[in-house]
Protein backbone atom coordinates (compact mmCIF):
# COMPACT_ATOMS: atom_id res chain seq x y z
CA UNK A 1 0.00 0.00 0.00
CA UNK A 2 1.10 3.53 -0.75
CA UNK A 3 1.05 6.08 2.01
CA UNK A 4 -0.75 9.28 0.95
CA UNK A 5 0.29 12.51 2.61
CA UNK A 6 -1.04 16.03 2.25
CA UNK A 7 -4.44 17.66 2.39
CA UNK A 8 -7.53 16.83 0.43
CA UNK A 9 -9.25 19.47 -1.68
CA UNK A 10 -12.19 19.48 0.73
CA UNK A 11 -9.91 20.27 3.70
CA UNK A 12 -8.28 23.14 1.79
CA UNK A 13 -11.67 24.61 0.85
CA UNK A 14 -12.82 24.48 4.49
CA UNK A 15 -9.64 26.24 5.71
CA UNK A 16 -9.97 28.93 3.02
CA UNK A 17 -13.62 29.48 3.95
CA UNK A 18 -12.74 29.87 7.64
CA UNK A 19 -9.97 32.36 6.79
CA UNK A 20 -12.43 34.29 4.59
CA UNK A 21 -14.95 34.60 7.43
CA UNK A 22 -12.27 35.74 9.89
CA UNK A 23 -10.99 38.31 7.38
CA UNK A 24 -14.50 39.61 6.73
CA UNK A 25 -14.88 40.28 10.45
CA UNK A 26 -11.38 41.62 11.18
CA UNK A 27 -10.67 43.92 8.22
CA UNK A 28 -13.50 46.46 8.79
CA UNK A 29 -12.56 46.75 12.47
CA UNK A 30 -8.94 47.29 11.57
CA UNK A 31 -9.80 49.91 8.93
CA UNK A 32 -11.89 51.89 11.44
CA UNK A 33 -8.97 51.81 13.90
CA UNK A 34 -6.46 53.46 11.53
CA UNK A 35 -7.89 57.05 11.52
CA UNK A 36 -8.12 57.09 15.31
CA UNK A 37 -4.55 55.80 15.64
CA UNK A 38 -3.33 58.55 13.27
CA UNK A 39 -5.12 61.22 15.30
CA UNK A 40 -3.71 59.90 18.57
CA UNK A 41 -0.21 59.87 17.09
CA UNK A 42 -0.55 63.46 15.82
CA UNK A 43 -1.84 64.65 19.21
CA UNK A 44 0.97 62.91 21.09
CA UNK A 45 3.60 64.31 18.75
CA UNK A 46 2.19 67.83 19.16
CA UNK A 47 2.37 67.30 22.93
CA UNK A 48 6.00 66.15 22.64
CA UNK A 49 6.85 69.08 20.36
CA UNK A 50 5.36 71.54 22.86
CA UNK A 51 7.51 69.98 25.58
CA UNK A 52 10.54 70.15 23.26
CA UNK A 53 9.84 73.82 22.59
CA UNK A 54 9.64 74.54 26.31
CA UNK A 55 12.87 72.65 27.05
CA UNK A 56 14.68 74.33 24.15
CA UNK A 57 13.63 77.77 25.42
CA UNK A 58 15.02 76.99 28.88
CA UNK A 59 18.19 75.39 27.54
CA UNK A 60 19.01 78.16 25.05
CA UNK A 61 17.83 80.92 27.43
CA UNK A 62 15.70 82.51 24.69
CA UNK A 63 12.12 82.52 23.45
CA UNK A 64 10.91 79.53 21.43
CA UNK A 65 7.51 79.39 19.81
CA UNK A 66 5.07 77.22 17.93
CA UNK A 67 3.27 78.95 15.07
CA UNK A 68 0.10 77.23 13.86
CA UNK A 69 -1.44 77.28 10.40
CA UNK A 70 -4.54 75.48 9.16
CA UNK A 71 -2.31 72.75 7.64
CA UNK A 72 0.27 72.21 10.42
CA UNK A 73 2.68 74.02 12.70
CA UNK A 74 6.26 75.26 12.90
CA UNK A 75 8.57 75.30 15.91
CA UNK A 76 11.35 77.91 16.01
CA UNK A 77 13.67 79.56 18.48
CA UNK A 78 14.05 83.34 18.43
CA UNK A 79 17.74 83.04 17.52
CA UNK A 80 17.05 80.70 14.64
CA UNK A 81 19.18 77.88 16.06
CA UNK A 82 16.25 75.45 16.07
CA UNK A 83 13.43 75.03 13.56
CA UNK A 84 11.04 72.21 12.71
CA UNK A 85 7.90 72.11 10.53
CA UNK A 86 5.11 69.55 10.84
CA UNK A 87 2.30 69.06 8.34
CA UNK A 88 -0.96 67.38 9.35
CA UNK A 89 -1.03 65.64 5.98
CA UNK A 90 2.03 63.63 7.08
CA UNK A 91 -0.28 61.63 9.37
CA UNK A 92 -2.68 60.65 6.59
CA UNK A 93 -5.86 62.25 5.36
CA UNK A 94 -8.61 63.72 7.42
CA UNK A 95 -6.73 65.37 10.30
CA UNK A 96 -7.40 69.02 11.00
CA UNK A 97 -7.35 71.63 13.71
CA UNK A 98 -10.93 71.80 14.95
CA UNK A 99 -12.61 71.37 18.31
CA UNK A 100 -15.90 69.75 19.35
CA UNK A 101 -17.55 73.13 19.91
CA UNK A 102 -18.19 75.75 17.27
CA UNK A 103 -15.42 78.28 16.75
CA UNK A 104 -12.63 75.96 17.87
CA UNK A 105 -10.56 75.89 14.70
CA UNK A 106 -6.80 76.13 14.29
CA UNK A 107 -5.20 78.58 16.70
CA UNK A 108 -4.71 82.04 15.24
CA UNK A 109 -1.92 82.75 17.72
CA UNK A 110 1.54 81.47 18.52
CA UNK A 111 2.50 79.79 21.77
CA UNK A 112 5.78 81.27 22.97
CA UNK A 113 7.82 79.85 25.82
CA UNK A 114 10.31 82.20 27.47
CA UNK A 115 13.66 81.30 29.04
CA UNK A 116 11.96 80.36 32.32
CA UNK A 117 9.61 77.90 30.59
CA UNK A 118 6.45 79.92 31.08
CA UNK A 119 4.25 80.91 28.18
CA UNK A 120 1.12 82.54 26.93
CA UNK A 121 -1.77 80.06 27.21
CA UNK A 122 -3.74 78.48 24.42
CA UNK A 123 -4.86 75.12 23.08
CA UNK A 124 -4.77 73.42 19.72
CA UNK A 125 -7.71 71.14 18.97
CA UNK A 126 -7.03 68.15 16.69
CA UNK A 127 -9.72 65.98 15.11
CA UNK A 128 -10.33 63.33 12.49
CA UNK A 129 -14.05 64.13 12.41
CA UNK A 130 -15.09 61.63 15.08
CA UNK A 131 -12.58 62.05 17.93
CA UNK A 132 -11.05 65.19 19.43
CA UNK A 133 -7.83 65.98 21.30
CA UNK A 134 -6.86 69.23 23.04
CA UNK A 135 -3.14 69.94 23.35
CA UNK A 136 -1.42 72.95 24.86
CA UNK A 137 -0.26 74.76 27.96
CA UNK A 138 -2.86 74.48 30.70
CA UNK A 139 -2.09 78.01 31.86
CA UNK A 140 0.56 80.67 31.83
CA UNK A 141 2.78 78.45 34.00
CA UNK A 142 3.77 76.41 30.96
CA UNK A 143 2.47 73.00 32.06
CA UNK A 144 1.61 71.23 28.79
CA UNK A 145 -1.49 69.03 28.82
CA UNK A 146 -2.94 66.44 26.43
CA UNK A 147 -6.66 65.72 26.81
CA UNK A 148 -9.22 63.65 24.89
CA UNK A 149 -12.86 64.68 24.47
CA UNK A 150 -15.24 61.99 25.77
CA UNK A 151 -18.39 63.69 24.47
CA UNK A 152 -18.98 65.97 27.45
CA UNK A 153 -15.65 66.68 29.18
CA UNK A 154 -11.91 66.63 28.53
CA UNK A 155 -10.26 63.60 30.10
Residue 148's beta-bridge partner residues? 133
Q: Looking at the predicted structure, is the pLDDT value of residue 1 above 70? A: no
Q: Report CA dihedral (114, 45, 104, 57) to the nearest 10 degrees.
A: 0
pLDDT score for 105: 67
Q: Where are the domains of the chain?
A: 10-148
Q: Is 49 helix (H, G, I), strand (E, B) or coil?
A: helix
Region of 117 please: left (phi>0), alpha (psi -120 to 50) or beta. left
| Residue 97 · residue 70 · CB < 8 Å | yes
pLDDT score for 2: 66
Q: What are phi and psi of 117, to 5 degrees?
A: 90, 5
- According to DSSP, the β-strands at 110-113 and 132-137 are unpaired
Residues present in the chain in total: 155
pLDDT score for 23: 92
pLDDT in tens, 141-153: 778 999 999 988 8
Superfamily of domain 10-148: minor pseudopilin epsh domain (3.55.40.10)
CA distance 144 to 52: 11
Q: Looking at the predicted structure, is the pLDDT value of residue 138 above 90? A: no
pLDDT in tens, 8-33: 899 999 999 999 999 999 888 888 88
Report residue 140's pLDDT band, with 50, 70 and 90 as the boundaries. Answer: low
What is the DSSP code string of 10-45? HHHHHHHHHHHHHHHHHHHHHHHHHHHHHHHHHHHH
Q: Report CA dihedral (114, 119, 120, 121) to the nearest 10 degrees.
A: 160
Q: Is 89 helix (H, G, I), strand (E, B) or coil?
A: helix
| pTM for this model (two decimals) | 0.80
Amino acid sequence: MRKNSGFTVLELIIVIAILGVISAIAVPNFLSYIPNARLKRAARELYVNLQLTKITAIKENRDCSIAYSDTGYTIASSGGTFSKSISLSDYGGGLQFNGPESGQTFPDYDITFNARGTCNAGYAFLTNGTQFYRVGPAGTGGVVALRKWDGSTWK
